[in-house]
Structure 1
Amino acid sequence: MMTMNMLQVFHMNKGGGEINYAKNCTIQSKILSITKPYVEAAMHDYLNTGIPWHTITIAELGCSSGPTALDTVTTIMDVVETRQKATNFMLYLVDLPSNDFNGAFSFIPSLQKRVREEKDVGFGHCFIAGLPGNFYDRLLPNRSLHFAHSSSSLHWLSQVPIGLDGKDGPKNMGKIYLSVTSPSHVIDAYKLQFRKDFLSFLKCRSQEVVLGGRMVLSFMGKRSSISNYEEDYFPLELIDRALMTMVSEGLVEEEKLDSLNVPLYAPSLEEVKLLIEEETSFYGDHFAAIEVEWDGGSGIEQELNSFKGRLTRGETIAKMHRAVIESMLEHHFGEDIMDELFYRYARIWDAHLLSNENSKLTILVISLIRI
Structure 2
Amino acid sequence: MELVQCLHMNKGEGETSYAKNSTVQREIILHETSIMKEAISDCMRNTSPKTMGIADLGCSSGPNSLMVISEIISTIYSTTNYYNNYSSVVPEEVVIGLNDLPCNDFNDLFMHLPEFYNKLEKYKGIINGLDGCFVSGVAGSFYGRLFPKKSLHFVHSSSSLHWLSRVPETEKLDEEDLNKGKIYISKTSPDCVVKAYLSQFHKDFLTFLGSRAVEIVSGGGMVLSFMGRITPDAAAEVGSHQWELLAQALVSMASEGLIEEEKIDSFNAPYYAPSVEEVRNVIEEEGSFIIKHLQPFEIGWDEGSSSSSSSSSSSSSTNITTRGQHVAYTIRAVVESMLESHFGTSLIMDDLFYRYAQLIDNYFFNTRPIYIIFLISLTRK
Q: Does residue 18 of structure 2 align to residue 9 of structure 1? A: no
1:57 aligned to which of 41, 53, 57: 53
Could you give the per-residue CA deviations for residues 229-258 of structure 1, whole angstroms, max 9, x where no partner exists? 443132111101111111211112111110
Secondary structure of the 1:201 match is helix
- Give the stretch that moved more between structures: 40-49 or 191-200: 40-49
Cα deviation code 1:266-293 (max 9, x no counterpart): 0011110111111100111101100001
Contact 1:171 1:259 in 2 (8 A): no
CA distance in 2, matches of 1:262, 1:229: 16
Match of 2:294 among 274, 287, 290: 287
Q: Could you tell me how far apart the structure 1 residues matched to 2:323 and 2:152 are?
A: 40
In the aligned structure 1, how far is the partner of 2:360 from the partner of 2:167?
Answer: 26
Question: Residue 303 of structure 1 corresponds to which residue in structure 2?
Answer: 312
Would you say 1:240 and 2:247 are equivalent positions? yes
Equivalent runs, 1:19-168 vs 2, <5 Å: 19-49=16-46, 51-82=47-78, 83-84=80-81, 87-120=92-125, 122-163=129-170, 167-168=174-175
Residue 365 of structure 2: aligned partner: 354
Report if aligned partners of 1:194, 1:265 keep a CA contact under 8 Å in 2. yes
- For residues 314 and 52 of structure 1, the distance between their equivalents in structure 2, rounded to whole angstroms, comes to 48
Structure 1 contact 223–362 (Cα < 8 Å) conserved: yes
Q: Is the 8 A contact 1:27 1:296 kept in 2?
A: yes
Aligned partner letter, 2:348? I
TM, length-normalised to structure 1: 0.94
**1:312 corresponds to 2:322:** yes
C-alpha spacing 1:250/1:154, structure 2 compared with 1 (3 Å): same
CA distance in 1, matches of 2:114, 2:235: 44
Distance in 1 (alpha carbons) for counterparts of 2:339 and 2:174 = 18
In the TM superposition, residue 169 of structure 1 has moved relative to its aligned partner by 7.0
Distance 1:135 1:143 in 2: 16
Q: 1:146 to 1:14 in 2, by over 3 A?
A: same
Equivalent pair of 1:11/1:96 in contact (CA under 8 Å) = yes
Cα deviation digits, residues 282-306 of structure 1 (max 9, x gap): 1111011000010124311663228
What is the correspondence of 1:149-298 to structure 2 with a 5 Å cutoff?
149-163=156-170, 167-168=174-175, 171-226=178-233, 228-298=235-305
Aligned pair count reads 365
The two structures have a TM-score, normalised by structure 2, of 0.91
Q: Secondary structure at the match of 1:304?
A: coil
In 2, Cα distance between equivalents of 1:230 and 1:174: 17
Q: Quote how far apart the aligned CAs of 1:126 are.
A: 1.4
CA RMSD of aligned residues (A): 1.9
After superposition, what is the alpha-carbon deviation per residue over 1:72-104, rounded to whole angstroms, capped at 9, x for unaligned?
221221122222556311110100011111111
In structure 1, the gaps of 5 or more residues are none
Moved more, 213-222 or 66-75: 66-75
